Structure 1
Amino acid sequence: MFTFDNTTIILSAVLLVMALLTPLVSPFFRKVRMTEPVLEDETDTEEEKNEAKLPPISIIFAPDDNAEELSKYLPLYLNQQYEAPFQVIVVAPQKDNETEDVLKRFADNEHLYTTFIPQSSRYMSRKKLAITLGVKAARYDWILMADICSYPQTENWLQTIARNCTKDKELVVGYTRYEDETPAYRRFEQLFHALYIMREYQKDKAYRCCFTALLFRKGIFLKEEGFRGNLKYLRGEYDFMVNKYAKGHNLAFENTPEGTLIEEIPTEKIWKNKHLFYMENRQHMLRTARHRLLPCLDQVVLHLNYLMEMAAIITGLLLNQLTIVVAAALSLLLTMILRTVIAKKKLNQFNENIPTWRVVPYEIAIMWHYISYKMMYHKADKYDFISHKL
């Protein structure tokens, strides 16, 4: 039965207004600044050209049972077209025969330097120890920490990300995305969280780094004692670095396709550990509450809107109030259309091909996946996240 009393009209209006406004409360709607390609202008002065010169760079890899990835991707880094000197430092565990065999194949390359972690090292993250050893062995002040399971798309990747190494910067983060063959939900979730992080970068409120390319200055790393304060935590090298060293305007971000690394399809174990270790690490990072506030607000708004629309449909059917049922159904349809259109625009901007019909269920699923990982984390042995230093 269709009725048009004041209560029905107000309720219907509220539902429609929420359907119009709540899709705007989303990381997909907020603007993320895209890095513009820098072209050399013939009118630049000599001083400006000198300022734009690329710095020498040391790239550090710390593989751990990654001989296959090292064999595939190390040549892509060694063969980068870079106008300034650069070196690639591989810090590998001692007696890792497969990794040693791979490194021997590239031993004659002028850019490659190899060193090893002693087997006796304990009571600290071996990955962080490897990075620290790499930093100390580096020839140059600018150091690029990358993951050997990620690879550049072009031979100009290094010069694209390095153009951000200016006098006023101490950190440069490079965008990373998963391979196209990665399950669609994982690519969706990765970008979903990355959008919050990129917004924090452009507002000079950097909290963490969910990407696998990070440039920093050797002098500052050594002066501030590197990973001191978080050495015992097994993971989170990129997160802890940005959380500790990002201050004011000292961080730059590169997200052009040429400056993007492609990360291999994560295994189920890697995907699960990525979530669980972050839940542990964030308890020991600064500015965590501020970082989590906006994502929590977005999830509350998203689910509250859907709950109100579904409740209105059910209540209207029970009370035979067809006006409310129609208004709620239209609101639900409008919400889904707007959220899909807004999300697809951002997904396309970052070259993520996610089927249109999956956007709404994926967006709803974010919170429920988070809850499932939260339950796993609470059941986990907390000593699994540290190097057992008592």
Structure 2
Amino acid sequence: MQGWFWGRYFRPFARRPAETEASEPGPDAEPVSLIVCTHNELENLRELVPLLLSQDYPAGFELVLIDDRSQDDTYLYAQQLSQYYPGRFRLVTVSHTPAGFAPKKYALTLGIKAARYERLLFTDADCRPVSLDWLRLMQRGFAQKNGADIVLGFSGYAEAPGLLNQLIRYETLLTGAQYLSFAWAGRPYMGVGRNLAYTRATFNSTKGFASHIRRLSGDDDLLVQDAVAAGARAAVVADYEAQTLSQPAETWGAWWRQKRRHLSAGSRYRAADRRRIGLFMGSNALFYVLTPAVLAVGWNRENLVSLGIIWLARTLLALLVYVPLARRLRTTLPPLALPALDFLYFALYCAWGLSLLRRRPLQWK
């Protein structure tokens, strides 16, 4: 089963042709609204905003900053930006969230309503576009499929020392491999709000976040779910210059809470998407579950040799798939550490799933 996913989805995506470079002529005629929702992230904004306002995009764009109940000096900083960039910068202030509404979804809704343009491009305050052509290249995704409604981008995490950072980047690679390659094969099911674009008409077709406005997570993947169900077409733009880069969680607890929040939206996916993801994740987890079961039958030489051959074959196959994927997405993957990272990730994935059964409260920020 794992080999089928690797051959059917991952490897073809890793070998897909490079996208048109920003220096080449392209469909860059439509203005774009860049939308960033922030909550107490002034220092991140000081780094991010200059990079956004410096994007090379002749058709014009605006930056819509949504200040969601910040208690730092975000508002004062935004007021300065309004003076320096009249007509290019717009501030939306959220002073409170209605009872029972997910704060970020409510804030994003207000920001989208305030945006001038039809095409909307989203990122987070802790993200950084890797190039000044990010906006241009993401916008070109709308020209795919004879007029796409959603553009799915990739957002990696910065490299740092330590096992936690390696696991975060491996998980991000594996998640990106799934949602990008599935979409490339015509089966889109999610995107990441750190690098995602869609049209206002697409947002309106789903009545915004109405179907999940009270659920904390899902401002990106559940929006894509609803939009695809309504007939929206999704394109993939994943070359390096069109990516964003984020700072990863620095503690195991922070990462645990982040992943638990992200995975909580999965129960709302369409049945076909849940089956597809479940088969991939389940077959990987089952491999590790069956290993001790085989050993329990007997520690004889024949069992050990057979198990060793299976492990070696699976590891080699994973290397043949994930190394090209990492190269395609321009993220580093230590080949020698792959077996350990894979085992730890799927063990944690099972733990995250079990933890969601306890229905502990989730929080944004």
What range describes the TM-score normalised by the shorter chain of this pair?
0.7 to 0.9
- The question of whether the paired residues in 1 share the 8 Å contact of 2:97 and 2:103 is answered with no
Deviation at 1:65, TM superposition (A): 1.3
State the partner residue of 2:199: 217
Deviation at 1:196, TM superposition (A): 1.3
The verdict on how the C-alpha distance between 1:164 and 1:306 changes in structure 2, with shifts beyond 3 A counting, is: same
SS of 2:211's equivalent in the other structure is coil
Return the TM-score normalized by structure 2: 0.85
CA distance in 1, matches of 2:332, 2:215: 35
1:231-282 residue CA offsets vs partner (Å, 9 max, x unmatched): 1112221111111112567111110111011011224354222322233222
Check if 1:158 corresponds to 2:135. yes
- The question of whether the paired residues in 2 share the 8 Å contact of 1:303 and 1:364 is answered with yes
How does 1:10-49 map onto structure 2 within 5 Å?
A: 26=6, 30-32=11-13, 34=16, 36-38=18-20
Return the TM-score normalized by structure 1: 0.80
State the partner residue of 2:104: 127
Check if 1:85 corresponds to 2:60. yes
* Structure 1 residue corresponding to 2:180, chosen from 198, 223, 231: 198
Q: How many residues align?
A: 352
How does 1:219-368 map onto structure 2 within 5 Å?
A: 219-247=201-229, 250-268=233-251, 269-287=253-271, 288-299=273-284, 302-303=287-288, 306=291, 314-316=299-301, 326=305, 329-368=308-347
Higher RCO structure (Cα 8 Å, ≥6 apart)? 1
Instruction: Answer with 1 or 2: which has the greater Rg.
Output: 1
State the partner residue of 1:139: 116
> Is there any run of 5+ residues in structure 1 with no aligned partner, and where?
1-20, 43-48
The verdict on how the C-alpha distance between 1:338 and 1:219 changes in structure 2, with shifts beyond 3 A counting, is: closer
CA distance in 2, matches of 1:54, 1:79: 18
Question: What value does the CA root-mean-square deviation take over the aligned residues?
Answer: 3.1
State the partner residue of 1:208: 190
Check if 1:65 corresponds to 2:50. no
- The question of whether the paired residues in 2 share the 8 Å contact of 1:173 and 1:211 is answered with no
CA distance in 2, matches of 1:326, 1:81: 58
State the partner residue of 1:168: 147
The verdict on how the C-alpha distance between 1:22 and 1:305 changes in structure 2, with shifts beyond 3 A counting, is: farther
CA distance in 2, matches of 1:249, 1:384: 30
SS of 1:129's equivalent in the other structure is helix
Tell which deviates more after alignment, 150-159 or 223-232. 223-232
SS of 1:163's equivalent in the other structure is helix
> Is there any run of 5+ residues in structure 2 with no aligned partner, and where?
none
Q: How much identity, in percent, do the aligned residues show?
A: 17
1:280-322 residue CA offsets vs partner (Å, 9 max, x unmatched): 2222232342332331353156337755875688223xxxx6x
